């Protein structure tokens, strides 16, 4: 029987080899069939005649033997394939554990470490304690443990992967090194055929250097904000302290120039008193501008919108600066669109905008030039244009205009006085009205500044932050540099041809 079995198995194996396990299967099936050859026909004889029961029983046993033999041997030959596949899977997993960069950890669904690998595991394990089991979470910073557990729970709920930043404690702190190491852990879920979480694969890398750079950038940003804060507080304090003596200087110089308590002896004394009055007025104007800028930066500049005719503000500006323009030999004109009507805005702020822009135009325009103020309506906006035929500005320097205490310094502008706050104040006031500011200029041709402000006052910022009575208030107020000007400042337009209008 063994020789017949070996002959059959060698022909069906494909490589001529006969396995002992297959012969054992055949022997067991033959033994069972020999018993069945007697039992099955005898059993059938009770329900049918012996002539029928004997051939039927023998045929049934033979068929069962052949079917069992073929099926059993086929299954035995499939098992090694499955084993080989499992071996390949294990080999690939081991390769990943060995070749992947960083520290590779395998977790069970509860977050306990079951295997350790990774190309850099020796470096990690040099300062870590054994992470197996619950050893890893015990080394995680106590504030970050909730992040790790949330990540595991997120994967358990169906997410395929995520990343989490953690701090791991060193097993021994060396002098000059940090107690905690920052790592970034990339976690991926492993699931069975029904989608249940069976494990988690994580790949961790050291991001301490990146974290150090972020901390350094944050520190420098805080220092810059602190420096700007200190500058603003200093300006506010100095401005408040200067106004009182300046008012006294102006008052007493007015008394002296009016000769209320006696005549001045000569014209030189009168000239000196006049110079004192002019210098004091100029300094007070600078101080008031600094205070206005401080209020705008702090978001505490309160606008009082009201309807008024723009012609009145332009006329007042002309009346104030006409003498200065005449002394320089300039032509100062204005043109207002007919039927413009009233606008809704802060009249004092609009007046300040016009005075600053026209004053700058007069300052930077030589004798024989012209300064023009135009007012018109455009798509529900008040369009104010102040143009001159002055020295102009180079295109590459337009971007720096409007920054506090910044002046365009070149061979021409060095001879002009000023603090560089005028345009900065104008831009701040325009932004508080919800408007936009644009400038076009060319050297030797002149400059045109265009301002757009909503006619109905819809862009005016009037809401002030409520004051908490229980909060300690700094004086002078602590200021912050608001780069977006309450989110309403629009991008400046720095291109376009320079235009000058001469009346």
Please give the pLDDT value at position 247: 85
For the cut 50, the answer to whether the pLDDT of residue 411 exceeds it is no
Same domain, 197 and 219: no
**Is the bond preceding 476 in cis, omega lying within 30 degrees of 0?**
yes
More confident residue, 258 or 5: 258
Residue 384 tokens, joined? 């104010």
- CATH number of the domain that residue 401 is part of: 3.30.565.10
Please give the pLDDT value at position 235: 72
Please give the pLDDT value at position 463: 42
In a domain, 115, yes or no: yes
In a domain, 460, yes or no: no
Model confidence band, residue 4 (pLDDT cutoffs 50, 70, 90): low
More confident residue, 222 or 421: 222
Contact at 8 Å (CB) between 204 and 453?
no
Please give the pLDDT value at position 76: 66
Mean pLDDT, the chain, rounded, equals: 78
Please provide the size of the chain in residues: 503
Residue 64 tokens, joined? 């069962």
Q: CA nearest 431: which of 299, 287, 273?
A: 299
How far is the C-alpha of 399 from the C-alpha of 176, rounded, in Å? Answer: 46
More confident residue, 145 or 99: 145
More confident residue, 188 or 498: 188
399 secondary structure, DSSP code: G
Contact at 8 Å (CB) between 455 and 339?
no
The residue from 185, 206, 227 where one domain ends is 206
Tell me which residue range forms the domain holding 123.
100-206
In a domain, 344, yes or no: yes
Same domain, 338 and 266: no
Lowest average pLDDT, out of 183-187, 232-236, 320-324, goes to 232-236
For the cut 80, the answer to whether the pLDDT of residue 197 exceeds it is yes
Same domain, 349 and 411: yes
Give the chain's domain count.
4
In a domain, 461, yes or no: no
- What are the backbone angles phi and psi of residue 75, rounded to the nearest 5°? -65, -40
The residue from 279, 295, 311 where one domain ends is 295
Contact at 8 Å (CB) between 249 and 280?
yes
In a domain, 468, yes or no: no
Same domain, 202 and 254: no
Alpha-carbon distances of 455 from 344, 360, 377, 431, rounded to whole Å: 6, 25, 8, 14
Please give the pLDDT value at position 225: 83
For the cut 50, the answer to whether the pLDDT of residue 202 exceeds it is yes
Same domain, 418 and 307: yes
Same domain, 36 and 173: no
Q: CA nearest 448: which of 381, 388, 359, 369?
A: 388
SS3 301: coil
Please give the pLDDT value at position 87: 45
For the cut 80, the answer to whether the pLDDT of residue 140 exceeds it is yes
Same domain, 188 and 291: no
Same domain, 312 and 445: yes
Partner residues linked to 115 by β-bridges = 106
- What are the backbone angles phi and psi of residue 196, rounded to the nearest 5°? -80, 145
Lowest average pLDDT, out of 39-53, 80-94, 281-295, 363-377, goes to 80-94
The residue from 454, 470, 490 where one domain ends is 454
496 secondary structure, DSSP code: S
In a domain, 463, yes or no: no
How far is the C-alpha of 300 from the C-alpha of 465, rounded, in Å? Answer: 9
pLDDT, tens digit, 9 for 90 and up, residues 334-387 = 999 988 888 999 888 898 899 889 988 998 898 999 999 999 998 889 999 999
Same domain, 74 and 120: no
SS3 63: helix
Model confidence band, residue 412 (pLDDT cutoffs 50, 70, 90): very low
Please give the pLDDT value at position 472: 41
- CATH number of the domain that residue 164 is part of: 3.30.450.20
Same domain, 250 and 183: no
With tokens 């702090």, the residue in question is 298
In a domain, 374, yes or no: yes
For the cut 50, the answer to whether the pLDDT of residue 484 exceeds it is no
For the cut 90, the answer to whether the pLDDT of residue 248 exceeds it is no
Same domain, 250 and 175: no
Residue 354 tokens, joined? 């016009």
Model confidence band, residue 88 (pLDDT cutoffs 50, 70, 90): very low
């Amino acid at each position: 029987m063994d020789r017949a079995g070996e002959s059959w198995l060698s022909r069906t194996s494909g490589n001529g080899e006969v396995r002992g396990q297959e012969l054992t299967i055949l022997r067991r099936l033959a033994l069972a069939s020999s018993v069945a050859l007697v039992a099955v026909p005898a059993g059938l004889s009770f329900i049918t005649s012996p002539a029928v029961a004997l051939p039927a029983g023998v045929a049934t046993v033979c068929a069962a033997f052949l079917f069992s033999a073929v099926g059993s041997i086929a299954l035995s030959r499939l098992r090694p394939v499955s084993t080989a596949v499992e071996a390949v899977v294990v080999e690939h997993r081991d390769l990943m554990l060995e070749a992947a960069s960083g520290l590779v950890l395998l977790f069970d669904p509860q977050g306990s470490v079951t295997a350790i690998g990774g190309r850099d595991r020796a470096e990690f394990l040099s300062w870590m304690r054994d992470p197996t089991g619950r050893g890893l979470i015990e080394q995680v910073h106590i504030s970050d443990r909730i992040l790790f557990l949330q990540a595991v729970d997120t994967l358990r709920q169906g997410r395929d992967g995520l990343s989490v930043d953690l701090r791991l404690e060193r097993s021994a702190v060396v002098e000059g090194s940090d107690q905690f190491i920052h790592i970034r852990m990339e976690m991926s879920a492993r699931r069975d055929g029904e989608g249940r979480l069976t494990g988690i694969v994580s790949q961790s890398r050291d991001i301490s250097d990146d974290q150090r750079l972020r901390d350094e950038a944050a520190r420098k940003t805080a220092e810059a904000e602190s420096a700007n804060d200190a500058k603003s507080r200093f300006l506010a304090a100095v401005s408040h302290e200067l106004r009182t003596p300046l008012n006294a200087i102006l008052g007493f110089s007015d008394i002296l120039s009016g000769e209320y308590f006696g005549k001045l002896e000569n014209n030189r004394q009168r000239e000196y008193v006049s110079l004192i009055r002019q210098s004091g007025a100029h300094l007070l104007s600078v101080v008031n501008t600094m205070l206005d800028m401080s209020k705008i930066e702090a978001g505490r500049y309160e606008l009082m919108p009201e309807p008024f005719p723009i012609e009145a503000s332009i006329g007042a500006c002309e009346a104030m600066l006409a003498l200065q323009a005449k002394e320089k030999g300039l032509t100062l004109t204005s043109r207002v669109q007919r039927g413009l009507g009233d606008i809704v805005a802060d009249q004092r702020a609009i007046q300040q905008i016009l005075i600053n822009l026209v004053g700058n135009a007069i300052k930077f325009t030589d004798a024989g030039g012209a300064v023009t103020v135009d007012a018109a309506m455009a798509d529900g906006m008040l369009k104010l244009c102040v143009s001159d035929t002055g020295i102009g500005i180079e295109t590459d320097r337009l971007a720096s205009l409007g920054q506090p205490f910044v002046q365009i310094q070149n061979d021409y502008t060095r001879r002009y006085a000023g603090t560089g706050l005028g345009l900065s104040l104008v831009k701040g006031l325009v932004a508080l009205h919800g408007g936009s500011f644009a400038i076009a200029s060319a050297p030797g041709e002149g400059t045109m500044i265009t301002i757009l402000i909503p006619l109905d006052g819809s862009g005016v910022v009037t809401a002030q932050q409520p004051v908490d009575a229980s909060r300690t208030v700094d004086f002078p107020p602590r200021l912050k540099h608001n780069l977006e000007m309450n989110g309403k400042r629009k991008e400046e337009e720095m291109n376009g041809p320079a235009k000058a209008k001469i009346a």
